Structures are given as structure tokens and as C-alpha cells.
Chain A
């Protein structure tokens, strides 16, 4: 099976810091649903940033969806992220001054490579309806519950129909019912679209739902 992402001999350091992340080999196949666990500060979020091309390794190769991001320029990596990746954050990162609908459509407004057309709007509305936000599209995030905000953030990640979803503790701030609901939405999308899911989580109760779990303690030599 083809790799959704593949990291080899990766070394990463934050400029001016003493954090170092080493990943000799990591591969996630297309269509896999993978959970990444590990202690705080071990580099799980950094891994997602490397896979997304947000951070660049000092050494080694990062290939995501057959694109060598470690050798791509900034514009190419941004364009790649916009077209082919979906990102979900623990703090949702919705823009307070935009409505739910405009937040969902944000990737289209900020990336000229994406075309904001009727189909995209339709897709945003269908996604919102699917997670119970049909009647709240005009609201700003301040008028949503935690669970609703995360669902809106999920819709924003899915609206571009990405082939790889990167989620950084997507259920970290949610109650049990909303956790299940958010994960249901993620898994349902991946199943329908054949997309890959790479999720960082601290919630061990959710691990049985994933096809594979990568434990950072056994992955490499991350050290803080």
C-alpha cells in the first residue's frame, strides 16, 4: 500500500532551543487511522508540523502524499497544505469575528489555490448540517458551546476534502459525548473519502477506535 506520509532519519530542533526530535523511520499508509501518544513535550505536535510541512527538519526526509516536503519551498508547502491536508487543533482556533459558515470556508478565503464557488459553499453547509450546526451557521464562535466549536473546526478541516487529516488532540477540551461525536465525524469522513487520519491524543480511552497506535516513547529518541 502507498504511504500517506513517510519520515526517514529526521532530525528537528527549534531554533535557539534545546529540544531535539529524532525519528529514524515512521510510515503511515493511505487510509490508515493512526493515533500518536506519548508524554507531554515529547514532540507529538512537532511530528504533525513536520508531516504538514509547517516545520522543516534539519536532516532527513519528510514525504507526505508523495511530495518531499523537506525539500519544497515555502509557497509549495503552503499550497500543498491548503489543497491536500486538513488540520484540526485542540483549541479549535476559530476566528472570533467570523460566522460559523465563514470559519468553515476560511481555507478558501485565504488560499488563492482554492476556489470559493457554489460547490464549496454547498459542501460547507452539508458538513455543518451533518454535525448539527445547520441552524448555527450565522453565529460567531463566542455563541457556540465547546462541542459546537470543535465541530465547526472539524468542518473547516474537512471542507477542502483533504486526503490526509492531521488532528492535534481534537477531543482534548470536550466532554465524553462531544468527544465521541467529533471522532465519529472524523472517522466517517475518512471512511467515505478514503482519507488518512493521524491524530495526537492523550485520551487512552479512545485508542481502541484507531487502527494503529504509535507510542512516542518507543518511536525514536525524542528528548526535551
Chain B
């Protein structure tokens, strides 16, 4: 190592706290805009990737963004409901593969998604252990949710009560875990899947209780008029669906009126997509069909605008930080005047002394940029996993 480089290195090591602060400051100035750019790019890729896999979303008129986010990422607040009849309407067009979604219920903080087995097929989800849900009351748990809950096929999960103090509200349903999905690094990993009818049961729209036509059920019967039986409020509803009581579960009214949060539509080609979109263009249409990618692109435009503001702010802060670093350096030169004079007196040339100071600046800059490079590498290496883990699940 040359003399100036040696002295510079020893100086920086001796003043390691000052050096560390300068290095970290420079690293942050360099890293923040680059890291932000990398993160935004990765987020954009992740967001558009899931949107690409879900070309169309059918739901109630209103915010297209909320509809898409809720349908793709199972947000806790479901969109305004549409009826099961709308699902049938989409399906009957014959243009697309349609999958119903019922959202809004949770178990231990994770969303319960009411759907059909088609969802698994169209999303490419694979059951890693156990099997897919087959009858009412069964559930299949996403990989991360299963790990968090510590559940496996054979265990049970209880849906969270939605209205604890409302006697006529939603009561918890004990669900039987029949399968655990293989991880697919998406929001599906954190969800619990049930049949859409099970979701309706959780919502109190379907229920099971003892057969009031049975002899000995008189205590729960308020009135009998021919085949019509009116139950007393004392009749006990089942909070778990078992092979023994499965047959007693039923839905009152027209199933077509029961609610769904959205319908995912998978057209086989552009033509089918365009035709379906065209069928929902009427001004008085109560339902909207949105292109997930278009909605996500709009969201990303907003994100990019915010990013450009953030980068501008970082630029201003960075300039101020660099100015401060330069000031610190100049002040340190003043404080080291005697040292510099001593070096001159013992025969060191001005360029040689300048080389010491320059080496210090270069070393701090190289360390700062190196640290920024490592941080950027870390973001590019682990950013996508973190986005999937913390933002999109």
C-alpha cells in the first residue's frame, strides 16, 4: 500500500465512527433512489404478474381498484356484493371460464375465500397434503397460513365471529382442514379456501339444525301448518358440519340471490375478452367487468408518480447530506492543519499530502458506494420475496 493510501486508511480506521457515519450517509444517498427503483420495478412485476393471471374481474359497480385488489389479494374489506345469479350469467355466456369469489370472513386474521375447485385449477394451485374440499364445512389451507396456524389435514379451524354482540349475526363455524396447498408465493399462500356454500353458511345464509319433522322435536316447534313448520328461537343451529348433520344444512330462499364478492373470468382469447367486456357496457348495467392489468397499470402510474416525488426529495436530502459531508471534510482539514504542516516540514510534497486527503475521500466514497451496491444487491435478491411476504399476501 502506498504511503498516502496507508495514512488515509489508518486515519479512517482511527476515526471509525466519523467514517462509518460518512460511509452510511453516502451509501443511503446512492442506495435510496436505486433501491426504491428496484423495489418499484419488483412490485410492478409482482402486481402485474397476478393481474396477468386474472384477466377479468366481474363485480359491483364502484371502485375498480378496490374490486381488483380485493379479488386478487383478498383484502379484509370486501367489495359491494353481487348475486350468485351474476356468476351464472357470466358462465352462461360460454365465453370464459368463471370462478365465484366470496370474501369478507376470516379465521385467526387470515381471509376465508369461498370459491370452487376451478379456482385451484385456473390459478395452478396444487394440494401438497390431503385433498381438495369436497363437502360443506371442509377447508383447504394456504401454505403460509397452515405454517402459521400449525394445522394439517384432520385439524379444525374456526371462523372468526363477525358480530359478537348481535344475536342474529354471524356465528363461528368449525371447519375441517382436509388439505394444505403447496406454496405458490402469492396471496393464496395466506388464505383459507372453502366452498362458496360453506362461506354462505359462515355468513348465516345457510344453516343446519335438528329435523323439526322428527317426533320429539315439538319443544322447538312454534307452529305446524300442514307441511310448514315454524321453529322457535330456541332451536339450536349446528356450528360444525359433520357427516351426521350434513343433510340438515339448507339455504332458505333463492340461491341465485345469495351474495358473491366477485367473479373471476378467464377468457381463452382476446376475442372472448372483448365480447364479454362489450356485454357489460350498458349505462344501466349494475355490474362492471374490469381488466385487472389496466387497473394495476393505473395504480402503478400513481406509484411511479409518488416514486418520482420521493426520488426528488431524496435528491434534495442527498445534496444537503453531500454538502454536509464536504463541510465535515473541509473542517477536518482545518483541524488537521498542524498535521499537514508537519508532513510538509519533514519533506512531504504538496501533491503527496493532497493524495492522503484525496485517498480518504475516495475510500469513503468507494465504501459508501460499495455498501449501497450491497444493499441494492440485497433488495434485488430478497425484494421480491419481501414484497410477496409483506405486501401481496
Contacts and interface: CB of A to CB of B under 8 A. Distances in A.
> Which residue of B7, B343, B346, B347 has the most chain A CB atoms within 10 A of its CB atom?
B347
Given A82-B347, A110-B347, A111-B347, A140 B14 contact: yes
Nearest to B12: A97
Interface string B319-352: 0000000000000000000110011111111001
Contact of A97 (B10, B342, B343): B10
20 contacts: A75-B349, A78-B347, A82-B346, A83-B347, A85-B347, A87-B345, A87-B346, A89-B345, A93-B338, A93-B342, A97-B10, A97-B11, A97-B14, A107-B346, A109-B6, A110-B346, A110-B348, A110-B352, A111-B346, A112-B3
Contacts of A78: 344, 347-349
Interface of A: 52, 54, 74-75, 78-83, 85, 87, 89, 91, 93, 95-98, 102, 106-113, 116, 140, 156
B306 interface: no
B15 interface: yes
Chain B interface extent, by class:
20 to 34
Nearest to B343: A110
B13 A97 contact: yes
B12 to A, nearest CB: 9
What is the predominant secondary structure among interface residues of chain B facing chain A?
A: helix
Interface of B: 3-4, 6-7, 10-11, 13-15, 338-339, 342-349, 352-353
A162 to B, nearest CB: 11
Contacts, number: 67
B272 to A, nearest CB: 74
A138 to B, nearest CB: 12
Nearest to A85: B347
A176 to B, nearest CB: 27
Contact of A52 (B3, B13, B14, B345): B345
Contacts of A87: 345-346
